[in-house]
Every structure is written in C-alpha cells, then in structure tokens.
Amino acid sequence: MSAGADDFLVKPINPRHLIPAVRSRVERFRDLRDLMSRDSLTGLYNHATAKELLETELARAGRSGATVSFAMLDIDHFKAVNDTFGHAVGDSVIKALSSILTRRLRKGDVIGRLGGEEFGAILPDTSADEAFSVMETIRIAFEEISKNAAECDAPITLSCGIATFPACDTAMSLSEAADRALYEAKTKGRNKTVLAGPSVVTPDKIFGLSR
C-alpha cells in the first residue's frame, strides 16, 4: 500500500471479487484520462491532447500519402461579449460553437479547445477547398444562431484560418500557417475564412461539396 497500491487481493482470488475490482479500476482510469485530456467546459480535447493528436494524424498521413487540413477558429471580439453580457453568456457562446463543431464535423475529425475562445479542428483526408467549404458552413451557422440568441442584441461571429498537409509538412508549420491565416481573417475585417498559402477558393466552391 505504501508503494502506491490501492488494494490487495490475496491468492487464490475469487473471480467474483477480481472482476468487480478490475472493472472499477478501469472505469476510474477512463474517468481520470478524460479529466486530463478534455476541456471541462466543452468536453472537447484540450490544447495538449489536440497537439498530440495532430502529430499522430500527420504521421499516419505521411505513411499513406493522405491530405490533412487543420483549421483554427476564434470568436470575434469575445472580450467585448464577456464585458457586455457577462461570463455566463460568454460560456454559452463557447458551448454553442462547440456544439456546432461536434454536429457538423465527422466522427473521425478531431476537435479541440485550444484556449479561451480559440478552437482547432483536424480534418483527415480533407483537401484545402473541402475544409474551406466545411468551415464556411460552420461560420455561417454560428452567426445565425447568435442572431437568434435572446441574451445578445448583436450577432457574434468567428474567424477561421486553414492550412493543409503536406503543403505544411510538420505539425508546427501546419499550426503556424493556420494561425497566420486566422490573423489574416481578423485583419481583413473578421467573420471570414482564409486559406493559408496559394490556394484560391471561388464562391461557387463554397457549398458544392458534401460533408
């Protein structure tokens, strides 16, 4: 017990005692793992876990020759939302975006809350243009929901930057490129989605893809 054990089973072990003991420890381990890897407000992956999963997904894509897109999303003027409407409304806004991301993205996509009002989405087997289409639908849906929110008298919007592997060949370069694209979206007036690099997306591509 002093070495760290939380129980001691004496041989011969009765299966009726062993199975519940193992089951309870497995459940406790899963709960602890979720606490360590998930954001407490949204239930999404936290920053550290999202970063690890991005590394894992890029390693897989590098072996298979697949494309991976990474999107960074940031709620526009979020400090003003908290200052004007209070932190409870701010939390509701963050939860609303979390819910939209969870509903609109695929089960195989990875969604994380990177900190504060910033989110990240890892989209395996997704080109830059496909990622742009998906993020535009999410951006528009978020704006529409905020327009109808009783707590807010003005729509709340988000900006998004997208980068793609293998154009960016490491997790760091991918994150930095997406962050630069996000910054560009902010400087161009916010409530926009911007692709990193030379890809060009025309308006007819925005809703032409099924995801």
Q: Which of 27, 55, 117, 143 is catalytic?
A: 117
Q: Among 70, 54, 167, which Cα is nearest to 121's?
A: 70
52 is catalytic: no
Residue numbers annotated as active site: 117
